[in-house]
Amino acid sequence: MTLSVSVDEEKAVYEVRARGERFSGRKPFSRTMELVQFLRHPITRGVPYQWDGRLVTWNHHEDIDYANLTFLEPLVRRSGFFPNVHQCPHTCRELLTAKRGKRVTMVCRSVHNGFRVTFSGLPKRSQLRSWEGIDLSEDDLGLLTTCTELYDPQCKTVHPVDLDVSGVFEAPVHHAEQYPALYKALIHEAKIRAGVEPDYHEEEEVDEKEEEVEVGSMVAEGDVYRSRGVDVVSVQRNRHVTVCLESDMGDIAEVTVVKDVEALAEVSTYGEAIHEETVEQMVVRALRAYALSDEVLKHVKAEVVRTLHEEGVRFSEE
């Protein structure tokens, strides 16, 4: 059975909706901790819950949809989640009357014995800054990052939260997939490091005909370049894919078309497979300043894709 949690603003109560095989039901709660205790019933009591004469149960880790009430999730998934720091409204009415604060960024970083967070854009005296002096385990960080909103009880303000995980990207995060928000943020960071446009398929696609016109105009206006090869170059700990170009005047240019091969490989392994069109667009963007014929550009695209295949990048078969 699955549960979804929402707010009935008219009645100022939380509402839990249940959907299961031949069963559905609704249950209101006015107090936040009563709601949390109910959602934890199967794990704390060890027996099914009797609901309208039926015995029902659910997995408190996987079967609950919190919608925008994500501040509840750490409290449900773990008993006593930093009770002196992770505060929530006492009642649904308190939540509804809370002020809407500005969006803040939770900046995550690794330290010698775990992780820590700081907040960017948060008022200096906000009670949420209590998080900044606490050493967190991977599980602590994963649960905290599930919160897309955090409540400041002192100011009675709800702050929307973004994540910055650049400081933990290279740290050993062994079970990030158990925490979708953290996992998604790490994949997003990997895309940025690899030079892939984040949410590429959700963005407006580049008009292919317009792209052809741009490339064609460059061929007509400037020195024509040809490819001298595609190579993987190691710079410090990162590996880049570079294209070596030579103009008809003998000028040599080395252009990085993929910024971080390992990050791209990680995206394709732990996230979604990479579409060849994505890499081709990366090549076009990187080489936009150089006049390349359609034939040379097509050859370079194919060579970059082949090189990434050899470097362990997984491509979509679609």
**Amino acid identity at 16:** V
DSSP 101: P
**Predicted pLDDT of residue 71:** 97
Cβ atoms of residues 18 and 2 within 8 Å:
yes
**Predicted pLDDT of residue 38:** 97
User: How far apart (Å, rounded) are the C-alpha atoms in residues 33 and 80?
Assistant: 11
- Let me know if 21 is exposed, middle or buried by CB neighbors in 10 A (0-12, 13-18, 19+): exposed
**Amino acid identity at 173:** V
DSSP H or E run through 243: strand 238-247
What are the C-alpha distances in Å from 14 to residues 189, 191, 310? 35, 37, 53
DSSP 274: B
Query: What is the block-wise mean pLDDT of the chain (318 residues), using blocks of 10 residues?
Result: 95 95 93 98 93 93 95 95 95 97 95 93 94 95 96 95 90 80 86 63 41 40 68 63 85 84 78 82 85 87 89 82
Could you give the dihedral angle defined by the CA atoms of residues 90, 91, 97 and 101, in that order, rounded to the nearest 10 degrees?
50
User: How far apart (Å, rounded) are the C-alpha atoms in residues 68 and 261?
Assistant: 35
DSSP-based three-state secondary structure for 85: coil
User: How far apart (Å, rounded) are the C-alpha atoms in residues 163 and 267?
Assistant: 18
CA 30 to chain centre: 32
- Let me know if 45 is exposed, middle or buried by CB neighbors in 10 A (0-12, 13-18, 19+): exposed
Tokens, residue 218: 């460059």
CA 237 to chain centre: 23
